[in-house]
Amino acid sequence: MTNQPYDGYDPYGQQPQAPENPQTPQGWPGQGHQQGYQQGHQGHQEYQGHQGHQGYDDPYAAQQYTQQWQGQTWETQTQSPVSAPVTAAEETAYLPPQGYEPPAPASAPAPAPAPASAAGYGPATVAGNPRITDAQRARAEGRSPIIEPGMQPAALTALLGLLLAGAAAIGTYALLVPLVVLQAVTAAGWFRLNGMWPARQGIALGFAGALAADAALLASDRSPSAILGTLGVWVLLALVLQLRSHADPDERMYGLMATVAASALAIVAGGYLAAEADAVTVGAIAVAVAVLARALPLPTPASVVVALLAAAGGGAAAGSMTGLGTSGALLGAGAAACALIGHRVASYDYPSRFVHFTAGVALPLSAAAPVVYVLGRALV
């Protein structure tokens, strides 16, 4: 209750004064029984009303029962909220970061990817480039993501194979020259095939292992145990070097596997130095013929069969000129089978031209080296 008098009401018992206009008395029900919030939401409302006026003949008599409330009440009429000062639109507008491009409308069609060139290789996609790589297109179309090296790398493989065959016929130290070239290209091509470029330390380590194996072969009178011993030492050396690396564990493991594989392939290629000279001649010629036949524009199954038959024929022809005779066909077919495996590995996952001119050239010859040594020892 408040101690402030209401209009026409005396709290000390005096009778209320009649208003000047008796037809619209002050305080009569229906006239302003509520008041809104006053002076900036002070939380106080005054509610006017009366109770118990029914049954009185005198309309002014009900004013003495009028009560006055102070406190929060529920507003029954819609009040317009007090609005904060409206700031300028420039101050509240969202400013996108620099370089931001708004997305295209949903109705706008996406740009169609440009067709990949049949003769070249698609580059890796970057932001804003709608073209996809040939490997991605092949996977999307359900095809195998393989690009074979082609005729030019096959011609280089055949040339290197013929150099190995001719050098083997001359002597051991003559064979060492094309063999060192083969081992260097093998180490470099394997790292590039695995997407690790430049990897100078790994390539140098693999090539150094190949040179150490060659030196051990020459010092041990071409004993195959020199290859196995060098391979074991180099695996341990690669492990120690990778443990000292500060790279992430996953990256170190990946680098370790690539280094060990590159070193192993380069060292195993030294099997040409340990094999018999006639076996090297027959095997290198068979690999050259098989790779050239594999590069012919034929379906894959047909080209594989043709390559094996051509390698067997080439091995038989080379065996007739050496001491192997007809056994050269078996040696040629075995060397060609391993060469085709290396050829397939070099074609994996749409590699670049650099891969084709390194791994694509060297892997067929390097993969055939163990078979040339084993079959050469068995057939000669």
pLDDT at 234 exceeding the cut of 60: yes
Cβ–Cβ contacts within 10 Å for residue 313, how many?
A: 17
Q: What digits encode the pLDDT tens for the residues 151-182?
A: 999 999 999 999 999 999 999 999 999 999 99
55's tokens: 């049954």
3-class DSSP state of 348: strand
Count, residues in the chain: 380
128 has pLDDT over 90? no
pLDDT category at 70 given cuts 50, 70, 90 is low
Cα separation of 115 and 125, whole Å?
14
**H-run or E-run covering 45:** strand 45-48
d(CA 91, CA 240): 62
Q: Are 272 and 164 in contact (CB under 8 A)?
A: yes
Report the C-alpha gap between 246 and 308 in whole angstroms.
47
